[in-house]
Amino acid sequence: MKVFITTSWILLRETMINIRKSLIMYCPSKIARISLVVTVLLSYFQIISSAYAETTQKVVDQNADDLENNVTLNRLIEHAIQSNTKIVEAREAWKATIEGRRVATGLPDPQFMVTYYPEPIETRNGPQDWNATLSQAVPYPGKLIKAGKVVDKDSEVARLNLDKTIRDTATNVRIAFYELSYIREAQKVAAKNIELIAHLRKVGETVYSKGQAALIDIVKAQSQEGQLQYDILLLNELEMTEITNINSLLNRPPQASIGRLVSPAVKPPVYSLSELYDLAKLNQEEIKMMDVLVNQAEIKVDLAKDQRLPDFKVGVFYAEIGSPDDGPKPKDASDDAYGLQFGFTVPIWFGKNKSLINQALAEKSRAIAAKESQINNTHSNIHSIYFRLQNALRLITLYKDNLLPQAASSMGMAETLFREKQTGFSDFIEAQSTWYNFNLAIARATADYGKYLARLEELIGHSITERAPLAELNQKELE
């Protein structure tokens, strides 16, 4: 950006200096006043360009810093929408279809033809050496309008595909965010647990030396410590893999760092399953695209029927007439000839036209069937993901409110009983292992809930944790 602004400023300054020199040469009497204006303009543009360059660089640096410190889900999604290359691709594809309307609704190029006769054609007025025609084909009234409507539907589909690409990108970012959040939470749990198991191992080795613990208990502690070290190594590699995945969605370098994640609060869905079905019909981009394709197919049917109507051609004709060689010359001898032309096509191939109509009708039926298929698949996917979402929510509640507190209490009780020599060391290790697994389970359930919520809202095309105002839904339905 700085290079662009600097280059633009240099070109602008050189242009203003050239203008000033020209004014000095041709308008010396006004040079003082004009020089002052030019100087003010130069200073103004220099200040503006410098301020803009500095502001732009600060924005870029701030965007980069936002991902180095505390990172929210919304910040990642905003960055992805601004930078993701698939979104850029879909946006440009939409622009291309918009430009296609003028192509579809424009008249064919005029045709200009010149005919030269090596052996001039003798006419009553003289020999004809050459002639020229200029003609223009004109489709039957209404054909170009319908062709434009077909392209308009393509533009609607491309725009919906852009919305779909943005939605899919946001969903992928959300899924990667929750997966990375789980990995980092698992790293914290594993790090705390390995400190605890290392302490327990030392305690076990001490009591074993006193003959108060069995060798198998010490082996269990050592093997669990080794398993935790492997888990930490695996989690570190998974973290780098997920960071690379997020960076690819954000169009960043693969090894760019992602700061501490700030996970949103877990919110339950506020819509019933039947309401989710209705919301999907109303908001999902794929279903909207199918609606547009059905409307487009209807227009194509009308356009196919119009092929039974003739197209027209109009033109002008000019022929150069030379002087007669001999004999009596008529009064209008050597007068050039000109005239108007009019013609039309004769659509007599009824079989071809009928096939065009049948083809368009078949495409319409296919579009209707595809829409129904999309709705059925959406309902099936909604039900499946909704079940997994509710199950993940139940697991979060179960582990958070019941199992995890019980495991912590059991671990404390096992430690107390072990110190009082009322239970074995292996029971203490087992209680610690259970507490560790329950912490991983609640982290996994929380991440799964976020991922299932992202996938479900992708199918719905609308947030399901906050009920939208009825007016907003009605407005979307009208659109």
pLDDT given at position 410: 81
CA distances, 112 to each of 53, 115, 315 (Å): 54, 10, 9
pLDDT given at position 217: 64
Whether residue 41 is predicted with pLDDT greater than 60 in this model: the reply is: no
Amino acid at 162: L
pLDDT given at position 1: 47
Query: For 369-380, what is the mean pLDDT?
Result: 95
Paired tokens of 176 = 């990667």
pLDDT given at position 198: 73
pLDDT given at position 11: 47
Paired tokens of 278 = 């209705």
pLDDT given at position 472: 52
Is pLDDT larger for residue 54 or for residue 303?
303
Greatest pairwise CA separation for the chain in angstroms: 145
Query: For 260-268, what is the mean pLDDT?
Result: 90
Mean residue pLDDT of the chain comes to 81
Whether residue 248 is predicted with pLDDT greater than 70 in this model: the reply is: yes
Vertex 281 angle, CA 278 and 282, to 5°: 90
Whether residue 94 is predicted with pLDDT greater than 60 in this model: the reply is: yes
pLDDT given at position 38: 46
CB neighbour list of residue 263: distance below 8 Å, 6 or more residues apart: 73, 177, 178, 181, 446, 450
pLDDT given at position 249: 94
pLDDT given at position 59: 44
Whether residue 406 is predicted with pLDDT greater than 80 in this model: the reply is: yes
Q: Which residues of 131-159 are buried (b: 16+ CB within 10 A; e: fewer)?
A: bebebebebbeebeebbbbbbbbbbbbbb
Confidence of residue 225 (pLDDT cuts 50, 70, 90): confident
pTM value is 0.75
Paired tokens of 264 = 């949103």
Q: Are 110 and 134 in contact (CB under 8 A)?
A: yes
**H/E stretch holding 328:** none
Amino acid at 74: N
Confidence of residue 195 (pLDDT cuts 50, 70, 90): confident
